[in-house]
Amino acid sequence: MTRTVRRVSLALAAALAGALAAGCPLPQPLAEVARTPDGGSVSTPILLPDTASPGGTVVYVTRDCAAGAQLTLSVQGEDFDTAESVEARWFVNYQESNTGYRGSTIATPSSDPSNPGRTIQPFTFVAYEAGATMPLDAIDVVDLVISNNFLSLADPTQPFQRAAPPPYVTQSYRWVFQYLDATDQRSRCP
């Protein structure tokens, strides 16, 4: 009888251990840290999607707003190495043949060295001028790309003007503007 109780206890303990192990994933490397060839680390700046304005990645815009369509785009960044420079680059309708590069700014760190937040200067996107009508279901794509070490703007490495040398990386946030008829309930004039 004691053996049966002991076997049942061991079986229950094994089942409990298996259940606990399944619910407790193994530790993963931090996304914000990449290793350099010499064993050092590089802090990777990130964008915080919850801070994006307008929120979401698809923005529905009425295709014939009387005053035109002009939107202010913004998102906050974060970098745990508060002493390094972080660059933010804006692109409209990026393609390899025409990058749509619209400029860059430095994502400024907080005055508090323990605060990893980075302020990225907002970008004013002018979709179309007043009186213009966008084709039905037309789209525009605006990308914000950040890195703490971009390749030169003249470097031909793809993705052109968005690439970083190893071990550095880039991160991007993308807004897709879809133009709809005024009768579509999702559309709005900014």
Is residue 23 assigned to a domain? no
Q: How many domains does the chain have?
A: 1
Is residue 26 assigned to a domain? no
- Using DSSP, state whether 75 is helix, strand or coil: strand
Contact 171, 146 (CB under 8 A): yes
- CATH number for the domain harbouring residue 149: 2.60.40
Is residue 75 assigned to a domain? yes
| Structural domain for 172, as ranges | 43-180
pLDDT digits (tens, 9 = 90+) for 131-162: 788 888 789 999 999 999 999 999 999 999 99
Prediction pTM value: 0.76
pLDDT digits (tens, 9 = 90+) for 97-126: 889 999 999 998 888 989 999 999 999 999
Tokens read off for 11: 């079986």
**Residue 148 burial (CB count, 10 A):** 19
